[in-house]
């Protein structure tokens, strides 16, 4: 508990101080700070800690900054035969986009699905309109233009009734603007390719899907997505009366466990560099840390793959600035080291 207070004391300016508790409970062991040699070894250490805790009949909560950590963690837990529970949808976002396009083309009269596809096309697809994330990083002009385009699409709902679906309204719209025209042409071409797949060039449907959605412009992305899906499918989850629970840090509020393990505490991940609210980021870690009833493990890694880390550097990762406030060194851990040595 004391370590979590240190994070807030420095970074959460609105903090009113340590809460006044109605009862007193002695603090447990200090949190354990671990500096792992790689993301793979980090997952292996998590699995070892979780297995030992579950063997001792203790509850275990594994928290990560984002769900991208979970496939590797699940693989390590499975290898160690550690039962776990993960209710978060782990399908890559690009696969989810593909599924929406395929669902839509099989039922083009579904107006709600058409609306989702239009959103995909203007957010990252061939009809891209910047300004989707209205978080202050886009100019006011960019955001206003995005809102105007979203409004134009929303107004098409006025033509939707029992006889006319949204796709029909799109197809029959006269003098569309540039964005809606791009959407029209994209959906018409995609539908035609699906209906006439037998007479089209082989592979045209898949090519159009990738071209219109722009999800796999980089071939490394499709390799990454297929690999992640295969890992999810092939994971043979162990069973047991007690299981470790995997969640993102944002889902941890209100939960408790005797043993809590937080991974990914590198400075280009926590705090999230995309966020401008350092106070909220510190509060998020505070809440995550205070989920532990007995033992808390705070893990950061020497290296992380680019699909998980936000920073440019893949190695020599610095631990989170939040951990610096705790004032203790992290125990260096690597597969070849039988003994732990201390390293900043």
Chain segment 282-338, per-residue pLDDT in tens = 999 999 999 999 999 999 999 988 778 877 778 889 999 999 999 889 999 988 754
Tell whether omega for the bond before 271 is within 30 degrees of 0, i.e. cis: yes
Tell me how crowded residue 63 is: count the other CB atoms within 10 A of its CB: 26
Give Cβ neighbours of residue 53 (< 8 Å, ≥ 6 apart). 59, 60, 244, 258, 259, 295
Going by pLDDT thresholds of 50, 70 and 90, the confidence category of residue 29 is: confident
What SS3 state is found at 221?
Answer: helix
Query: Is there a single domain that holds both residue 101 and residue 170?
Result: yes
Residue 247 lies in a domain: yes
Q: How far apart are CA 342 and CA 17, in angstroms?
A: 31
Query: Is there a single domain that holds both residue 297 and residue 210?
Result: no
Q: Which of 30-39, 196-205, 329-338 has the lowest mean pLDDT?
A: 196-205
Query: Is there a single domain that holds both residue 249 and residue 215?
Result: no
Q: What CATH number is associated with residue 321?
A: 3.40.50.300
Domain count, the chain: 2
Whole-Å CA distances, 150 to 10, 130, 147, 157 = 41, 11, 5, 12
Going by pLDDT thresholds of 50, 70 and 90, the confidence category of residue 87 is: confident
Task: Check whether 70 has a pLDDT greater than 60.
Answer: yes
Task: Check whether 118 has a pLDDT greater than 50.
Answer: yes
Averaged pLDDT, 28-57: 93
Query: Is there a single domain that holds both residue 139 and residue 204?
Result: yes
Whole-Å CA distances, 193 to 53, 165, 186, 200, 202 = 54, 21, 11, 7, 10
pLDDT tens digits, residue range 210-243?
899 998 888 888 888 888 787 776 666 666 568 9
pLDDT tens digits, residue range 2-23?
788 888 888 877 766 666 544 4
Residue 55 lies in a domain: yes
Residue 232 lies in a domain: no
Q: How far apart are CA 101 and CA 96, in angstroms?
A: 9
Residue 252 lies in a domain: yes
Q: How far apart are CA 38 and CA 317, in angstroms?
A: 10
For residue 28, give the nearest of 331, 226, 189, 258 by alpha carbon: 258
The answer to whether 323 and 298 have CB atoms below 8 angstroms apart is yes
Q: How far apart are CA 334 and CA 258, in angstroms?
A: 26
Facing residues of 244 across strands? 84
For residue 252, give the nearest of 297, 299, 295, 288 by alpha carbon: 288
Q: How far apart are CA 262 and CA 270, in angstroms?
A: 11
In what helix (H) or strand (E) does residue 74 lie, and over which residues does it extend? helix 70-79
Angle between helices 219-234 and 70-79 (to 10 degrees): 40
Among 163, 193, 222, the domain boundary falls at 222
- Order of strands across the sheet that contains 330-333: 84-85, 244-248, 60-64, 257-262, 292-301, 32-36, 330-333, 341-343
Strand pairing class (330-333; 341-343): antiparallel
Count how many residues are written for the chain.
344
Query: Is there a single domain that holds both residue 191 and residue 251?
Result: no
DSSP string, 130-149: S--S-SSSS-HHHHHHHHHH
Averaged pLDDT, 155-184: 91
Q: How far apart are CA 153 and CA 116, in angstroms?
A: 11
Task: Check whether 28 has a pLDDT greater than 90.
Answer: no
Among 197, 222, 247, the domain boundary falls at 222
Facing residues of 36 across strands? 301, 333
Look up residue 86 and give its DSSP letter: -
Query: Is there a single domain that holds both residue 54 and residue 172?
Result: no
Query: Is there a single domain that holds both residue 246 and residue 326?
Result: yes
Give Cβ neighbours of residue 102 (< 8 Å, ≥ 6 apart). 209
Residue 218 lies in a domain: yes
Query: Is there a single domain that holds both residue 177 and residue 248?
Result: no
Residue 231 lies in a domain: no
Domain with 275, as residue range(s), is: 2-83+238-343
Residue 88 lies in a domain: no
pLDDT tens digits, residue range 46-59?
999 999 999 999 99
Query: Is there a single domain that holds both residue 10 and residue 75?
Result: yes
Q: Which of 99-103, 114-118, 212-216 has the lowest mean pLDDT?
A: 212-216
Query: Is there a single domain that holds both residue 216 and residue 103?
Result: yes
Residue 30 lies in a domain: yes
Beta strands in 223-274, from DSSP E residues, in sequence order: 244-248, 257-262
Query: Is there a single domain that holds both residue 211 and residue 245?
Result: no
Query: Is there a single domain that holds both residue 100 and residue 215?
Result: yes
Going by pLDDT thresholds of 50, 70 and 90, the confidence category of residue 125 is: very high
Q: Is the pTM of this model over 0.85?
A: no
């Amino acid at each position: 508990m004391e370590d979590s207070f240190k994070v807030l004391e420095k970074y959460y300016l609105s903090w009113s101080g340590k809460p006044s508790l109605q009862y007193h409970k002695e603090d447990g062991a200090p949190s354990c700070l671990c500096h792992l040699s790689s993301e793979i070894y980090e997952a292996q250490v998590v699995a070892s800690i979780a297995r030992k805790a579950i063997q001792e009949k203790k509850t275990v909560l594994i928290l990560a900054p984002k769900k991208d950590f979970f496939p590797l963690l699940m693989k390590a837990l499975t290898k160690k035969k550690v039962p776990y529970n993960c209710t978060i949808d782990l399908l890559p976002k690009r696969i989810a986009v593909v599924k929406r396009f395929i669902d839509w083309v099989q039922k083009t009269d579904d107006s709600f699905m058409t609306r989702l596809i239009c959103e995909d096309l203007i957010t990252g697809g061939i009809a891209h309109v910047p300004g989707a994330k209205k978080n202050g990083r886009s100019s006011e002009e960019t955001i206003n233009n995005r809102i105007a385009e979203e409004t134009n699409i929303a107004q098409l709902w006025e033509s939707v009734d029992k006889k006319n679906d949204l796709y029909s309204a799109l197809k029959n719209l006269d003098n569309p603007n540039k964005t809606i025209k791009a959407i029209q042409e994209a959906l018409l071409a995609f539908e035609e390719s699906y209906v006439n797949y037998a007479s089209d060039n082989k592979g045209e449907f898949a090519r159009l899907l990738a071209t219109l959605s722009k999800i796999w412009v980089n071939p490394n992305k499709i390799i990454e997505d297929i690999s992640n899906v295969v890992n999810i499918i092939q994971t043979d989850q162990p069973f047991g009366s007690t299981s470790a629970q995997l969640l993102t840090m944002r889902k941890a509020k209100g939960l408790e466990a005797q043993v809590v393990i937080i991974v990914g505490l590198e400075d280009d991940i926590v705090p999230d560099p995309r966020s401008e609210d350092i106070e909220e980021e510190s509060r998020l870690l505070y809440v995550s840390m205070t989920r532990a009833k007995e033992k808390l493990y705070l893990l950061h890694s020497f290296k992380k793959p680019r699909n998980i880390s936000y920073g440019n550097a893949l190695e020599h990762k610095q631990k989170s600035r939040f951990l610096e406030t705790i004032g203790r060194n992290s125990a260096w851990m690597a597969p070849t080291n039988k003994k732990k040595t201390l390293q900043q």
